[in-house]
Chains A and B, each alone.
Chain A
Amino acid sequence: DTAVSQTPKYLVTQMGNDKSIKCEQNLGHDTMYWYKQDSKKFLKIMFSYNNKELIINETVPNRFSPKSPDKAHLNLHINSLELGDSAVYFCASSQYRGKAFFGQGTRLTVV
């Protein structure tokens, strides 16, 4: 059983489209995250969310929005995709301030 799973693994789409990436964790963790790994290989936090609080990295455009239907899911919605959004997106989960477990990543390519 995969602890943190995200789908799809690859996503190719045109500029201007709206897309979603799904993430699920079966670890019973209370906090979930989205990270972006850009072309320079930096892993940057985008969002962290638990059932009480959403924390947004101020550098993230408001075209990106996390949606959490329940504690085990944190999906990432992206509106009006731009070329610069091409990156690998990682979902992760942890207990508060514990070690984070990562999904396998979603490689998004905007053409």
Chain B
Amino acid sequence: DQQVKQNSPSLSVQEGRISILNCDYTNSMFDYFLWYKKYPAEGPTFLISISSIKDKNEDGRFTVFLNKSAKHLSLHIVPSQPGDSAVYFCAASASGGSQGNLIFGKGTKLSVKP
């Protein structure tokens, strides 16, 4: 039972254009969402997060949008750079229960072409 879904396994974008990575979730108890970036043979590294009390969070070239009614979030990268090529994981957590445990999506492999 996938509570966090990333339905696009891969995405290819031209350098300088916008990359949009999407994530859907099913658990209405999730109230904290994160994006991680992962290079081969390395651990995931934190990119950006958003709390459910917000609908947008921006950090430099990275912006995360949250649509609670649709249970959907997206990561925008603009402008995209070749160094952004990596696997991007969406993750979510809920207060109560297994506090702090991140539930991950399957990842989207982003390729940014020069």
- Rounded to whole Å, the gap between the CB of A9 and the closest CB of chain B is 8
User: In the complex, how many angstroms separate the beta carbon of B47 from the nearest chain A beta carbon?
Assistant: 9
Q: How many interface residues does chain B have, given as a range?
A: 20 to 34
Per the CB 8 Å criterion, the residue count for chain A at the interface is 25
Find chain B residues with CB under 8 A from A43 CB.
Answer: 44, 89, 104, 107
Q: Which residues of chain B come closer than 8 Å to A31, judged between CB atoms?
A: 100
Which of B32, B36, B44 interacts with A97 by CB under 8 Å? Answer: B32
Residues B44 and A90 in contact, CB atoms below 8 Å apart? yes
Whether A100 pairs with B106 at a CB distance below 8 angstroms is no
With A43-B89, A45-B98, A105-B41 given, is the CB distance from A100 to B104 under 8 Å?
no
Docked Cα-Cα span, A65 to B36, in Å, equals 27
Residue in contact with B106 in the complex, picked from A4, A42, A94, CB distance below 8 Å: A42
At the interface, is chain A mostly helix, strand, loop or mixed?
strand
B28 in contact (CB, < 8 A): no
In the assembly, what is the distance between CA of A41 and CA of B45, in Å? 16
Residues of chain B lying within 8 A (CB to CB) of residue A4: 43
A40-B95 in contact (CB<8A): no
Task: Tell yes or no: B13 within 8 A of A by CB.
Answer: no
Q: How many A-B residue pairs have CB under 8 A?
A: 57
CB neighbours of B69 from chain A (8 A): none
CA distance A96 to B44 in the complex (A): 18
- Chain A residues with Cβ below 8 Å from B93 are 97
Q: 19 pairs across A/B with beta carbons < 8 Å?
A: A33-B102, A41-B87, A43-B89, A43-B104, A45-B102, A45-B103, A48-B98, A48-B101, A94-B100, A96-B99, A96-B100, A97-B95, A97-B99, A99-B46, A100-B100, A102-B44, A103-B43, A104-B42, A105-B43
Beyond the given A33-B102, A41-B106, A97-B100, please list 15 additional residue pairs across the A-B interface where CB-CB is below 8 A. Answer: A4-B43, A31-B100, A33-B100, A41-B87, A42-B106, A43-B89, A43-B104, A44-B104, A45-B101, A92-B43, A97-B93, A100-B102, A102-B43, A102-B45, A105-B41
